Amino acid sequence: MIQPGLKGVIATETSISHIDGEKGLLIYRGYEVNELTEHFSFEEVAYLLWYGELPSETELTSFKEELKKQRNLSSYLKKIVDYLPKDIDMMSVLRTVISAEGTLQYGWKPTITQSIKLTSMIPTVIAYRKHSVDQTAFIEPRLDLGHVENYLYMLNGELPTTAQTNALETYMILTMEHGMNASTFSARVTASTESDMISAVTSAIGTMKGPLHGGAPSEVIHFLDEVSCTSNVEKIIRKKLSNGEKLMGFGHRVYKTHDPRAVSLKNTLLKQVGEDEWLDLALHVEITAIKLLEEFKPGRALYTNVEFYSAAIMKAINMDPCLFTPTFTASRLVGWTAHVLEQAQNNTIYRPQSKYVGKLVKLNKR
């Protein structure tokens, strides 16, 4: 039986994460992700995904120091960024720079040290490229700041507020890992050939670059921009649904109830109700859209997904839309590398079959 896109096919066993689409659960190493965002930092959750357990206080201190030491870009990587044409998109820049990082130290087998290096440096690549394109001075990373706070600092040149840091940290924890999605599958397939960590991550970045995987928050921004221009949100949404248009940010291929990541992001935003017009708009749109979706598509159980509130958070912290997918990539790199490490532990090369539906032509002998 053919399953187009391998939909529903179980290709491996994993202890990294679990998605229960019916119950709306996302679990990292046994922990519900919403509990992790409430009580732990980006660094602690990254440690959990790589090592399989939460760090002790001593382990966390050491781990944070290791991450901070790897933030700076080498001069040759900066030169590569400088030489790239200004009209190349950020995801292509990340793919090129990560590939160029692939020295002999990244041979088989992959290591957590390699994962730390790539995760630590990628926000610096994004910030360096952004300043280069904007023709503004690059802001060097600060070693006294946490991973997410430092990322925002490098982009904007000023310390973010606690609310801004918490909002982006929540987002980056929630998007670290999400099972056998397209980019993670790409990484594992590449690693299964006993290729190196760099090649696996480069494959994943190339997959994430596709708009069907990494581009949804930008579309949600366009949707919210459209409805923000009128006082009658319900009228616009009703018209879209009547015309058979898809509401960006609603529904998910896996979750048949509330996306737990959207719930966690919404809880973060609810703490700021009344402080940001954009966030208030997003909350209003969600209520109206879900009501109308039930009217137009009864029984479909279409709720907000992570992209909807991701877009609201990105807008609230003034994140340039060109950085949405790269920022998603900066968080998902933790999950990719965790899967590469797991693949290497008990490796079998991926080799699915295909069904031939072409012709069989017999040549006439002369």
Same-domain status, 158 and 241? no
Q: Are residues 131 and 88 in the same domain?
A: yes
User: Do 62 and 190 reside in the same domain of the chain?
Assistant: yes
| From 149, 169, 307, 342, active-site residue | 307
Give the pLDDT band (50/70/90) at residue 253: low
DSSP single-letter state for residue 321: G
3 state DSSP class of 28 = strand
Task: Give residue-wise pLDDT tens across range 198-208.
Answer: 999 999 999 99
For residues 57 and 19, what is the distance between their CA atoms, to the nearest angstrom?
29
Structure confidence at residue 62 (pLDDT) = 97
Within 13 Å of residue 101, how many CA atoms lie on the same side as its CB? 29
* Residue 361 forms part of a structural domain: no
pLDDT tens digits, residue range 82-112? 999 999 999 999 999 999 998 778 889 999 9
**Residues 57 and 182 reside in one and the same domain:** yes
Longest dimension (CA), the chain: 83
Q: What percent of the chain has pLDDT over 90?
A: 55
Q: Is residue 305 classed exposed, middle or buried when 0-12, 13-18 and 19+ CB atoms within 10 A define those classes?
A: buried
**Claim to verify: residue 139 and residue 20 sit in the same structural domain:** yes
Domain count, the chain: 2
Q: Is 252 a catalytic residue?
A: yes
Question: Can you read off the two tokens belonging to residue 111?
Answer: 């290591």
- Tally the C-alpha atoms within 13 A of residue 276's C-alpha that lie toward its C-beta: 18
pLDDT at 199: 96
pLDDT for res 53? 97
CA neighbours closer than 13 Å in the CB half-sphere of residue 272: 23
Higher pLDDT, 25 or 253: 25
Residue 103 lies in a domain: yes
Cβ–Cβ under 8 Å, residues 55 and 63: yes
In a domain? residue 261: yes
Q: Looking at residue 94, which CATH number applies to its domain?
A: 1.10.580.10
Same domain assignment for residues 202 and 306: no
pLDDT in tens, 272-298: 655 667 777 888 888 888 888 888 888
Please name the amino acid found at residue 76: Y
Question: Are residues 17 and 148 both part of a single domain?
Answer: yes
Indicate which residue of 252, 286, 339, 342 is catalytic: 252
> At residue 56, does pLDDT exceed 90?
yes
pLDDT averaged over every residue in the chain: 88
pLDDT band at 363 (very low <50, low <70, confident <90, very high): confident
Does residue 355 lie in a domain region?
Answer: no
188: its two tokens: 């594992």
Backbone CA torsion sign across 92, 98, 101, 107: negative
Instruction: Note whether 57 and 149 are same-domain residues.
Output: yes
Which range, of 19-28, 188-197, 355-364, averages the lowest pLDDT?
Answer: 19-28
Residue 360 lies in a domain: no
Does residue 258 sit within a domain? yes
* 111 and 178 assigned to the same domain: yes
Collect all residues with Cβ–Cβ distance below 8 Å to 294 and sequence separation of at least 6: none
Report the pLDDT value the prediction gives residue 275, as an integer from 0 to 100.
60
Angle between helices 112-134 and 324-345 (to 10 degrees): 160
| Residue 228's CATH number | 1.10.230.10
Predicted local distance difference test score (pLDDT) of residue 215: 67
| 10 lies in some domain | yes
> Does the residue 353 lie in any domain?
no
280 and 201 in a common domain? no
Cβ neighbours around 276 below 10 Å, total: 16
- In angstroms, rounded to a whole number, what is the distance separating the alpha carbons of residues 81 and 131? 11
Q: Residue 160 and residue 148: Cα distance in Å, rounded? A: 10
Q: Are residues 163 and 15 in the same domain?
A: yes
Q: Peptide bond preceding 109: is omega within 30 degrees of 0, i.e. cis?
A: yes
Q: How confident is the model at residue 266 (pLDDT cuts 50, 70, 90)?
A: confident
| Distance, CA of 238 to CA of 247 (rounded, Å) | 10
Domain of 269, in residue numbers = 216-316
**3-state SS class at 181:** coil
The question of whether 147 is a catalytic residue gets the answer no
**Residues 159-197 pLDDT 10s:** 998 888 988 999 999 999 999 999 999 999 999 999 999
Q: Is 150 found in the same domain as 260?
A: no
